[in-house]
Chain A
Amino acid sequence: MFPAVDVLGVRKHYGKLCALDNVDLRIEQGEFFGLLGPNGAGKTTLINLLSGLSKPDTGRVSVMGYDVVRQYRDSRRLMGVVPQELVFDPFFNVRETLRFQSGYFGVKHNEAWIDEVMHHLDLSDKADTNMRRLSGGMKRRVLVAQALVHKPPVIVLDEPTAGVDVELRRSLWRFIRRLNLDGHTVLAGQHAELARQRLRVPGAAALVRRTSRHAGGAKGGARWRRIPAGAAVIHGAGDGAGTIARGRIGRAGNERAAARSGRGVSARGGQTYKLTSVANQK
């Protein structure tokens, strides 16, 4: 069986800024995987590489065994992505938006499922409301609905609960959890802070945690604590399948340092994140 997500030796630079430095990540089918980290850690960058919104400098990414660059149509068909930005098409209402989304993914006659998804996301009353007239939290829920219209085996959510109130956040996670139990693989990106305080990701999650350490030495600057290959472990599901992420998701938040060092923060900036489990930190 192919892993749901397979990331191998991926590097991604934005100009001089190194957002992802040699990241390996493997998520097995059926896992519920949390990708956690502070602002600028590279969560969205990684998700964008999976979904084909951007391309890696080096390395390979595949989804359900399909290379996201060479077999992009297959990999995209098997993935539902909730983008972090609150985007919408102001020309259409909720139902039209979901119908178009179904069409993009080649699904015909999808009304029953569209209704069910809207029901679960508490959007049924808003079906005929123009996207412009929805509140922020409602727009977020439409984004989630859009990712689900084609019942993708792999569901990728980038901050799915930002701006959603507590009540709905719970029901949203319950719904996502149910999808996971039904066999969908879930990859959710969240701020670590949010995760620690409020997020209750049922099942496995990885915490991309900062472990900066001043190593004295060179001109008072902090130094990399290199995570040896294979040592940074993202533990798997509550009890189950382990997933190993080697390398680092770079501390990319500090562009000034990148400009100073001229080599990208990850190479020299001084902080790194250790990947550990939060499965038991609830």
Chain B
Amino acid sequence: MLSFYTLFHKELLRVQKVAFQTVLSPVLTALLYLLIFSHLLEQHVEVYPGVRYTAFLIPGLVMMSVLQNAFANSSSSLIQSKITGNIVFVLLAPLAYWEFFLAYVLASVVRGLVVGAGVYLAALWFAWPPLQFPLWALLFAVLGSALLGSLGVVAGIWSEKFDQLAGFQNFIILPLTFLSGVFYSIHSLPAFWQVLSHFNPFFYMIDGFRYGFFGSSDISPWISLVVVSGCFLVLAAFTLALLRSGYKLRL
């Protein structure tokens, strides 16, 4: 267990040593979104009755930051290690493949939660969304960041260059987060897009997380929980199989 703990700890230290890029800069990015969108849309949009648009927007932005940073953590750590070659230290160690998985995913969860908390606290300056069921919110933040951390492990192993990782980020992660209802309720979309949104796992993560704040959501949080957990289990099984086979790591 010490091997696992060491790798986990090392991953956290890495985040901490470059906290400016890993924590502060994503918080600032989220605040910029908040500033611009809330300024533009505050007067025009009311998603939930009696809830200001800015307040509605905050949980979505928090969750978006959680997810993107969880993905960025495992994927960029892995690709950096692969490119600099120091991944060998981990590969030479008597670490079980599931310990490898757990260490990277948990570090991603921590980074996601820290950035999420940072965005939330900073956003309180703009508006004060209610936090009705904090445990629901936490549950979705943890599950969502674990899911994205796991996806980051897959992307980090699969990519051989930073460009490929950026492609993964720009063509998969970014569109899925933007089309998941961070900035709007999917009920405000045309029917076709509404149906399509239901195939986007990010939608369930955001919607479930938002339920923790407002106590109301586009769909039942229980359904979201089942969908998100299911996606996580499938992806985790896939990632573990990949690690076990040594795909692209042990040639």
A-side interface residues toward B, CB under 8 Å?
Answer: 14, 51-55, 72-74, 76-77, 79, 81, 83, 85, 87-92, 96, 100-101, 103-108, 146
Contacts and interface: CB of A to CB of B under 8 A. Distances in A.
12 contacts: A52-B91, A73-B94, A74-B94, A76-B94, A87-B88, A91-B13, A91-B14, A100-B6, A103-B3, A103-B5, A104-B3, A108-B2
Interface in B218-251: 246, 250-251
Tell me what chain B mostly uses at the interface: helix, strand, loop, or mixed: helix
Q: Which of A54, A88, A96, A100 has the most CB of B within 10 A?
A: A100
A154 to B, nearest CB: 12
A103 to B, nearest CB: 3
B17 interface: yes
Interface residues of B, number: 27
Contacts of B200: none
Nearest to A86: B85
Given A54-B251, A73-B94, A89 B89 contact: yes
Given A51-B92, A53-B88, A104-B95, 19 more contacts: A53-B250, A53-B251, A55-B251, A72-B94, A73-B96, A79-B92, A83-B92, A85-B85, A87-B84, A87-B88, A89-B81, A89-B89, A91-B18, A101-B89, A103-B3, A103-B10, A104-B3, A104-B7, A106-B3
A104 B9 contact: no
Contacts of B250: 52-55
A106 B9 contact: no
Contacts of A88: 84, 86
Q: Which 9 A-B pairs have the closest CB atoms?
A: A103-B6, A104-B93, A87-B85, A76-B94, A77-B94, A73-B94, A89-B86, A106-B2, A54-B251
Given A91-B13, A103-B3, A106-B2, A53 B92 contact: yes
A157 B165 CA distance: 33
Nearest to B251: A54
Contact of A90 (B84, B91, B94): B84
Contact of B94 (A53, A91, A104): A104
A188 to B, nearest CB: 17
B88 A104 contact: no
Given A52-B92, A89-B86, A103 B2 contact: yes
Nearest to A45: B251
B90 interface: yes
Contacts of B91: 52-53
Interface string B106-126: 000000000000000000000
A248 to B, nearest CB: 21
A76 B92 contact: yes
Contacts of B89: 87, 89, 100-101, 104, 146
A79 B91 CA distance: 12
A1 B81 CA distance: 38
Contacts of B246: 55
B88 A103 contact: no
A91 B17 contact: yes
A72 B92 CA distance: 10
Contacts of A100: 6, 10, 89
Contacts of B3: 103-106
Contacts of A89: 81, 84, 86, 89
Contacts of B2: 103, 106-108
A100 B86 CA distance: 13
B212 to A, nearest CB: 35
